[in-house]
Amino acid sequence: MKTQIVLIVVMTLWISFSCREVDQFVPVEDNVPFEFSQEFTGPQDTLTYELTISEPIIIRTPKGTEFVFKPEMFVFTNGDYCECDQVSIEIIELDKKRDYLVHEASTISDGELLVSAGAYHVAAYAKGKPLKLAPGHLACFWLPSPLLDPEMKLFYGERTINGFNWTPSDLSSGFASITPGQWQYNDTTDVIVGYQCFSERLDWINVDKFVQEGSRNPVCIKLDEAFTGENTVVFAVLKDEKSILKTKYSVNDGFCLTNIPVGSEVLLIGIRKSGANQYEMASEFTTIEKNHFQSLNFNPTDFNEIKNYLANL
C-alpha cells in the first residue's frame, strides 16, 4: 500500500512537470522525404500512342512535334528480332520551363550550361516489353521553333545518382543529327519552321546549344537547418532562355550551383515539403554577381497553387 502511494505521487509530479505549458518549448519537426518529381508530375505528362506499323506512320504531339515510326525499326532491348506490328509509344514532351523543372531535367552538359529548344523522353514497347532502335535505323522527328539557331545540336540525356546530364550526340551514320529548315505538316498546307532531327537512340533527347557568354561562378542559397536535400528543392531558371538548373545540397554550403554566368537574370524557386500535404515555396528574381550569395523567404503555399505557379513559368 505504501509503495502504491509513492508511485502515485511520482506519476503526479511527472505529469505536472512534463505537460505544463512552457512558452519556450518548440517541437522538433520530422524530416519529411520529398519526391518532388513524383508529386508534381502525373499521367497527363506522358503521351501514349497505340500504333499498327505496317507502313511509315507520323504522329504529331499537342505541341506540334512530328515523329516518324517505320516497320522493322525496333528490336527488343536484348537485340532479339521483333515483329512489332503493334507498338506502344510513350512520349514526355519538355516544352515549357515547368516541364524541365518538374522532370528535374537540368540543362547541363558536363557542368556547362545549355539553352534548349525542346526535349523529349521517348519509349517504345511491344507485348509489354521495352524496345530500342534496330541497327541501321534512326528516330526522325521535326521540332517546331520560332527562332532557328545554327548552333543547336542534338544531345542525349542520362539520369544518375549525381543528377541529370546531357551529352552531345555523335552520329556515326554520316547523317547530320539536326538541320534547321521548314516543312509542311503531313495533312495540311501549313509551313512550319524548326529543326529536322535524327537520333540514334530513344530515351532522353534534347535540341540544345552551349551558353558561351559570361564567366562562370558559384551561386549558393543558404537556408536554416530545417531545409535539407531530403525535403527541399531549389532551382534557378534563366529569365530569357529555356535553361533550368537544379541546385546541389551540402550541409556546409546549402543549395549551390557553379555554372551560371555573371550578369544573368535568374528566377530562384524553392519548394519545401514541411509535412503530409504541407508545402512552403519561395521565388525571387536576381541578377547573378561574382560569388553570388542569396537568401530566400519561404511561405506556406497550397499544393495546387504551386502547380499553377510552375505551369505559368
Classify residue 51 by burial, with Cβ atoms within 10 Å: 0-12, 13-18, 19+. Answer: middle
| pLDDT(1) > 50 | no
Residue 93 pLDDT: 97
- Give percent of the chain with pLDDT exceeding 70: 87
Name the residue with cell 514541411: 274
301-310 pLDDT per residue, tens: 999 999 999 9
142-173 pLDDT per residue, tens: 999 988 999 999 999 999 888 899 999 875 55
Strand arrangement, sheet containing 265-275: 244-246, 232-238, 265-275, 278-287, 299-300
| pLDDT(195) > 60 | yes
Structural domains of the chain, ranges and CATH numbers in brackets = 38-210 (2.60.220), 213-311 (2.60.40)
Residue 273 pLDDT: 96
Handedness of CA 128, 130, 133, 138 (dihedral sign): positive
pTM for this model (two decimals): 0.86
- The phi and psi torsions of 272 (rounded to 5 degrees) equal -125, 140
Residue 13 pLDDT: 41
Determine which helix (DSSP H) or strand (DSSP E) holds 266, and give its type and residue range: strand 265-275
Average pLDDT, the chain: 87
